[in-house]
């Protein structure tokens, strides 16, 4: 796990136990919805409200510690912002995973091909995962 205290400081955000708790949960599970995070964090911070959670998530998205993954017809998930990657979602069990194939689908390649200057990869591929195919 990374040093989130330092990361918060580097992004000029106040270091709070709640924020550190949120980041360690997200780091552990990879991708999480606000509701899942809320259920999880209440085990350690029973008095935290969902409004506080939203506020903290939004400020950490703003400074690019977290990234929101928008999924059509489903709730957004959040992850720790890291190197660029796409996502894949299973339509049956609804799990979401990172997709790091050497596809053409990186901002760099897409920019080269199209002449656009892209700054966000929000690509999500939908399908059926290997477990659900069995």
Candidate residues 34, 63, 90, 124; the one interacting with Zn ion per rule CB under 5 A: 90
Q: Does 103 bind Zn ion (CB under 5 A)?
A: no
Rounded to a whole number of angstroms, the minimum distance from the CB of residue 80 to Zn ion is 9
Q: Is 15 in the site for Zn ion (CB under 5 A)?
A: no
| φ, ψ (nearest 5 deg) of residue 83 | -60, 150
Please state, in angstroms and rounded to a whole number, the distance separating the CA atoms of residues 48 and 18: 8
Task: Give the shortest CB-85-to-Zn ion separation in angstroms.
Answer: 6
93 near Zn ion (CB under 5 A): yes
Q: Which of residues 66-85 bind Zn ion (CB under 5 A)?
A: 79
> Which of residues 7 and 79 has its CB atom nearest to Zn ion in the complex?
79
**What number of chain residues touch Zn ion (CB under 5 A)?**
7
CA–CA separation, 129 and 45 (whole Å)? 34
Distance separating alpha carbons of residues 76 and 61, to the nearest angstrom: 12
| Minimum CB distance to Zn ion smaller for 14 or for 82 | 82
Query: Least distance (Å) from Zn ion to the CB of residue 132?
Result: 3
Per CB under 5 A, contacts with Zn ion among 112-131 are 129
Where does this chain bind Zn ion (CB under 5 A)?
79, 90, 92-93, 98, 129, 132
């Amino acid at each position: 796990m990374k040093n989130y205290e330092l990361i918060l400081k580097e992004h000029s955000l106040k270091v709070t136990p709640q924020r550190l708790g949120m980041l360690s949960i997200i780091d552990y599970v990879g991708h999480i919805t606000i509701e899942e995070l809320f259920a999880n964090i209440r085990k350690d911070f029973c008095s935290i409200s969902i409004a506080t959670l939203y506020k903290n998530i939004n400020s950490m998205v703003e400074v690019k510690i977290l990234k929101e993954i928008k999924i059509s017809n489903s709730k957004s998930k959040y992850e720790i912002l890291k190197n660029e990657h796409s996502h894949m979602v299973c339509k049956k069990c609804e799990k979401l995973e990172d997709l790091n194939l050497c596809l053409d689908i990186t901002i760099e390649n897409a920019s080269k091909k199209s002449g656009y200057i892209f700054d966000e990869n929000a690509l999500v591929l939908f399908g059926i995962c290997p477990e659900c195919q069995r």
